[in-house]
Structure 1
């Protein structure tokens, strides 16, 4: 069996930029991904998805995203960009490789997949934060007369049945989907917190330019600024949703807490009969395939510091707030990848 110096699990933005930095250091490595093609996770998202970061803040190190730097890229642009990134730097990627188990034996890592078992001196888990759709447990009580889709399954309004739609979740995806659907049908948006809106631009500058100048993007999770930003939660960038709410096109509901039949009940005790539900309720991580003691906490999340674990040679990359606000974003993951690449280089 060939022993790889480093295997990177995940060929998304985190995995590819990890490969970029390892190649800069003349390290040998292999990137594996369960998808059949690079960028497929972006391609599979809803048709109208547009990033909230402009192109100038949506690139990985070494290659700028083509197009007007002040405009906002579509999800297909990002998918194509990742393909170009891989081709530009000739990064070794094998797709269609799904990892079922990883363990350590004789100071090497063994990675069991649907194709073969790989052996490596180092492993970087770069599977990202969007692994397993999170859907509330009470959905099992709802009638099959309701069409239910997670936001990762929704494509466009043509997916839905006739009737109204309830979008559950007040994040960026939930907001964008609600605005789109409100153009043609009765639309409700269930939220569990007060919505915060921020403009895309201030004084002809992207708000991310201001974030950069103020140190918000680079704020560490345990810093005063980082704690303040985390406590406030993620805002909605742009005012499209706010306008739709003010015009009565999107009707706000409080947190959805239960449901039965075709009825959903909310925290304020109101109820709603629905025909369609879009669960924009985010994702949950699943690292159950890592069969190494002491790597995960009681919530199943990685125990790591700046991506480094207490197991020599095992690293994580692309986690939200791994080192800063931008760690899970295109604009910030490169810094973390460079740090981990240097750690791996020092192990030789």
Structure 2
């Protein structure tokens, strides 16, 4: 039996929940499908010491604030509990334990498959992040069996490691924070290029009250968008190279005894090689090498060779060539804040306004062109 809804939202994280919030404001018939056992579980599964980069006042969704100080930086468990409370407060129709494995056109719109269940809908909102599947270099399989290997997705705390040195591969935000986490009990090397860092301490008074508000509410939210020339240039750079270190500074790494080494290039005699020819005798390797998208279950001709929606196939999440199909939650969908709490609400509101408008089958004019060569970062 096929279940029928006007709109199916795929994904019950922050992007899916805020999309549901706006659909509810329009009295739409919809359901949110999520593979997890609890709302917020992807956040609960992240490393123990993680805190978001933005104070609580900038890490919330429309309609609900955090309890406690608006200037505190929420932990990953506080974010998870906030999302769960958000779904409960607005009585959002989230169906948990439903893993979508197919999306295709049907005679009456779209057909969504999830195991032995099927949903038909006029509209589908894919509310998922760009980064879903861990990326690890092929040569990782050549490391000796006595080396403990973890990816960012699986790392929780230093107790998972064995005695001996640690190589953290990937010097972006996740790699830098995890390197600090393990350096208290292990000799630690951090491999990768210097990505730069923001010029202020986010935990300081200036950072909380002036620095972060300017970066998140002005620069990332209003200036760096697909509607500005500088935003389009920066988007390509951020997709391929990531963003600067936000909380960790080079001095923090040095003070903790973390040694910077060049990019990891291969394996020799079961041990990692960094730079041209240096072999590191380590007992543990943590791959902070990012994620890749996984939209292979969407059976529609809208993707590029990297599995991302082709540009300009979608405009601010609206897919003109597939009326009724939308995306929310992708990194830099419209602005540098699109994958963050700061911006996902604006993107969801835009998509829902288009979905519910009388002219929703009007095809918006693409505002930019480019390629998708290139977080799930923390907020």
TM over 0.5: yes
Kept in 1: contact 2:195–2:244 (CA 8 A): no
Give CA deviations for 1:84-109 in whole Å, capped at 9, x if unaligned. Answer: 10011100000111111111011321
Aligned partners of 1:203, 1:2: CA distance in 2, in Å?
49
Corresponding residue of 1:234: 243
**Aligned equivalent of 2:54:** 53
Asked whether the equivalents of residues 9 and 16 of structure 2 are also in contact (C-alpha less than 8 Å), the reply is yes
SS in 1 for 2:88: helix
Pairwise CA distance, 1:198: 3.4
CA distance 1:269–1:217, change in 2 (3 Å): farther
Q: How many residues align?
A: 346
CA distance in 2, matches of 1:51, 1:132: 21
Please give the root-mean-square deviation of Cα atoms over the aligned residues, in Å: 1.8
- Name the CA distance, whole Å, in 1 between partners of 2:297 and 2:355: 23
- After TM superposition, give the deviation of residue 270 of structure 1 in Å: 2.1
Distance 1:106 1:184 in 2: 60
- Distance in 2, matches of 1:339 and 1:194, equals 32
1:174 deviation in Å? 1.1
Task: Return the alpha-carbon distance in structure 2 between the equivalents of residues 104 and 79 of structure 1.
Answer: 33
- Partner residue of 1:323? 334
The aligned residue for residue 300 of structure 1 is 307
> Equivalent residues in 2 for 1:264-303 (5 A)?
264-292=272-300, 294-303=301-310
The TM-score with structure 2 as length reference comes to 0.87
Q: Flag the 1:167–1:203 CA change in 2: closer, same or farther, 3 A.
A: closer
Partner of 2:225: 220
Which deviates more from structure 2 when the two are superposed, residues 4-13 or residues 136-145? 136-145
CA displacement at 1:245 relative to structure 2: 3.0
Q: CA deviation at 1:178?
A: 0.5
- Richer in strand (by share): 1
CA contact (8 A) 1:197 1:242 kept: no
Once residues 76 and 248 of structure 1 are traced to their aligned partners in structure 2, the CA distance between those partners, rounded to angstroms, is: 26
- Secondary structure, in 3 states, of the residue corresponding to 1:162? coil
Q: Is the 8 A contact 1:101 1:112 kept in 2?
A: yes
1:246 Cα offset (Å):
2.7
SS at 2:349 equivalent: helix
Instruction: Report deviation, 1:59.
Output: 0.3
**Aligned ranges 1:26-175 → 2 under 5 Å:** 26-175=27-176
CA distance change for structure 1 residues 32 and 204 in 2, over 3 Å: closer, same or farther? closer
CA distance in 2, matches of 1:246, 1:193: 13
Instruction: Judge conservation of contact 1:4–1:30 (CA < 8 Å) in 2.
Output: yes
Query: Are the equivalent residues in 2 in contact too, given 1:108–1:120 (CA < 8 A)?
Result: yes
Question: How far apart, in 1, do the equivalents of 2:165 and 2:341 lie?
Answer: 35
For 1:130 and 1:90, the matched residues in 2 are separated by 28
Match of 1:249 among 239, 246, 257: 257
Shift of 1:312: 0.6
Tell me, in whole angstroms, the C-alpha distance in 2 between the residues paired with 1:36 and 1:133.
21
For residues 232 and 88 of structure 2, what CA distance do their matches in structure 1 show? 39
Deviation, 1:257, is: 1.2
Q: Following TM superposition, by how much is the alpha carbon of 1:131 offset from its aligned partner in structure 2, in angstroms?
A: 1.0
